Chains A and B, each alone.
Chain A
Amino acid sequence: MPSLFEARGVTKRFGGLTALHAVDFAVDRGIASIIGPNGAGKTTLFNVFTGLYAADEGSVTFRDRPLLGLRPDQITALGICRTFQNIRLFSNMTAIENVLVGMNSRITLGLWDVLSRNPGFRRTESELAARAVRLLQRVGLQASVNVVARNLPYGDRRRLELARALASEPALLLLDEPTAGMTQGEASALMHLLRGLVADLELAIILIEHNMRVVMEVSDRVTVLDHGEKIAEGPPREVQSNARVIEAYLGKRGAGPRARSGA
């Protein structure tokens, strides 16, 4: 059976720097995590997947459709959505307005519908609002529906970003460090939520994470990047004990900075 999402040989260069080198990655269902030291190219990979960067080499397909060359909004319309490492909410819009923007690719109303306020428009708008409230309930923000995003506490902002990403009804969700800055308790709760979403919505999730406990707990599969290359992939336990992975994170045993100078 073909994979839902498949990337092959993805290479991305910035001038003289090769940020990604021939990276293969595929996901079909469940939660796949991408880990690696800082600067490994994880977010760059997401940016290529979502159309923000153009890959120099390689191919990316989603449901057998090639994605390279498509614009980010086109990719979202196809069923892939993401969150950002540095949280990019629409700060001056309320929570529900943020989620409603996320639904943009699913709205079929036109300019004339808007200007004439016809019954179709009214019906659609109230359906959208209802759906948005349900999404906010799902992520636990039912009390903050009309709160301006800027005023939400940090943890709630991450949840809002998640709700907004879910608004476009994606089949594949890309989450960039969703538990960053959270307490262990909050992180676990979020992971529990994600597992629930995967089960209920038949969602596939790709997770970039630094929190190892979370990664081990929730992932079906873990991929490790270092300096733009994939150095390991497999079930969490396997990867955890992989020598190369340990080396990438901790450096060669008993060696000082000189040993890594060739890397």
Chain B
Amino acid sequence: MDVELLIGIFPQVLLDGIILGFMYALIALGYTMVYGVLEFINFAHSEIFIFGAFVGVEILLGLKSVGLLDGLPWPLVLLLVLAAGMASSGLLAVTVERIAYRPLRGAPRLIPLISAIGISFFLQDMIRLFESLWHNAFNLVYPTMDVLNQRFELTETIDVSVKSLVVIGAALLMLWALYLIVNRTKVGTAIRAVAEDQAAASLMGIDVNRIISLTFLIGGAMGGAAGVLFGVQYGLINPYSGFIPGLKAFTAAVLGGIGNIPGAMLGGLVLGLLEAFAAAYLSLLTNGAFGAEYKDILAFSILILILIFRPKGLLGEIVRERA
């Protein structure tokens, strides 16, 4: 076992873990916020996430085809793409809520869950349909912007791409903005109130339906931002790429305590780091016996174990069933 190698790759793995973690955190926020106000798992959130990525790629491809991509300053392009991704994902989330979840609000819990699964599948193929007709391809590659591919040397052995720094920076900004919204604005307080006790909140004069829509909007927007960053960071997307990251982000949300916003951020980071280390070291340590795909099993196993042994997660609370 080449210990030097193991230590040598550590910083890179750490970085990968952080990036992955922030991305999971952003997606996890969508799950956790919706669960907080409705006690409902928005299964379709993984598609809302990847939808943002597709909006992003379409804009970039569009800019590229008119030759503007390299002409415009890259922060502007990034801002544009992020804003578009967030807006469209947010709106998609609100629409889905209106059409597929609101009519089912009173029904037994399994019914909206199944509806959400249906929407998830439907959206996957809708994106495929659209892209097949528009580009005759649904595996799309994010156009690169050369400036983002430049690498900085931090130390002798570690270098990091501008892209990675940008992704981390954007993610941090999003998380901070969300924190401010939820904790420092009236809207945020209303959301927390509805999450706490819907009946009481409505008695206080809060329009619960509006707040729920807003929650979907914000959660969706976070997912959309994550989608754009995902596309920028990893380059290749297809309509089905949302499923696994979505499931993992849900794991992160549960890990942190479903319904708990700081929990989602913490869970995302923990899961991202665990996964990055598993992906890098598992293979090395076992001489290739356990390949990188086992990192997926790691995430699912964590999910299963938490739900069985500590469903409240790291920061959450237990909901007790009354006899």
Contacts and interface: CB of A to CB of B under 8 A. Distances in A.
Direct contact of A and B (CB under 8 A): yes
B323 interface: yes
A98 B270 CA distance: 49
Interface in A23-66: 43, 47, 52-53
A197 B323 CA distance: 28
A200 B323 CA distance: 32
A52 B323 CA distance: 8
Interface string B300-323: 000000000000000000000001
A17 to B, nearest CB: 13
Interface string B199-230: 00000000000000000000000000000000
Contacts of B323: 43, 47, 52-53
A209 to B, nearest CB: 19
Contacts of A43: 323
B21 to A, nearest CB: 35
A53 B323 CA distance: 9
A43 B322 CA distance: 12
B215 to A, nearest CB: 30
Contacts of A47: 323
Size class of the B contact interface (CB-based, 8 Å): under 10
Interface in A102-144: none
A85 to B, nearest CB: 10
A14 B285 CA distance: 48
4 contacts: A43-B323, A47-B323, A52-B323, A53-B323
B322 to A, nearest CB: 10
A43 B323 CA distance: 9
A47 B323 CA distance: 8
Contacts of A53: 323
Nearest to B320: A14
A55 to B, nearest CB: 14
A8 B271 CA distance: 49
A53 to B, nearest CB: 7
Nearest to A52: B323
B29 to A, nearest CB: 30
B318 to A, nearest CB: 11
B39 to A, nearest CB: 22
A177 to B, nearest CB: 14
Nearest to A84: B323
A208 to B, nearest CB: 14
Contacts of A52: 323
A52 B322 CA distance: 10
B312 to A, nearest CB: 15
A52 B320 CA distance: 13
A52 B321 CA distance: 11
Nearest to A44: B323
| Closest 4 pairs between A and B when the two form their complex, measured CB to CB | A52-B323, A47-B323, A53-B323, A43-B323
B255 to A, nearest CB: 25
A165 B296 CA distance: 49
A249 to B, nearest CB: 25
B309 to A, nearest CB: 19
A19 to B, nearest CB: 12
B319 to A, nearest CB: 14
A86 to B, nearest CB: 10
A53 B322 CA distance: 11
A36 B323 CA distance: 19
B221 to A, nearest CB: 38
Nearest to A85: B323
B111 to A, nearest CB: 16
